[in-house]
Amino acid sequence: MKRHDHEQMLRLYQHWQASGKSKTEFAEVHGIRPTTFYYWTRKFEQVASAPSPGFQPITIEGPLYKNPGELMAAVQYPSGVRLELYSSFQEVSGSYAQLLKTLTE
């Protein structure tokens, strides 16, 4: 029983996508059991269709420094959750506002 590593199968998967051949035909030409190739293609397709967990850009509207207690920044998540940061938070960490500005540039 031959084992296939992830990188090797990823290269074959990408080659198959460009080949225009069926999965069974491609597997037979490359000496891979069709069930093994179907397993790996399903695995790569699931990864490709998974939502990206990456960061979303944020923007700071209006002046960066406001009067204590005023809304300084808000982050709206796709779920509807809203995170609001008020200028009084700056008293705890003076560099926090600068960090927010840096993240949005």
Q: Return contacts of 91-97, CB within 8 angstroms, 24+ apart.
A: 97/64, 97/65, 97/72
Q: What is the pLDDT of residue 57?
A: 67
Q: Kindly indicate the confidence band of residue 96, based on its pLDDT and cuts at 50, 70 and 90.
A: low
b/e per residue, 6-38, with b = 16+ CB within 10 A?
Answer: eeebeebbeebeeeeeebeebbeeeebeeeebe
Residue 92's pLDDT is: 46
The pLDDT score that the predictor gives to residue 21 is: 92
Tell me: the pLDDT tens digits for 43-94?
Answer: 888 877 666 666 666 665 665 555 667 777 777 878 888 877 776 654 445 5
* Residue that the structure tokens 């999965």 belong to: 23
Please give the pLDDT value at position 64.
58
Residue type, 59: T
**pLDDT tens-place string over residues 9-45:** 999 999 999 999 999 999 999 999 999 999 999 988 8
Q: What is the pLDDT of residue 52?
A: 63
Cα–Cα distance for residue pair 26/16, rounded to 1 Å: 7
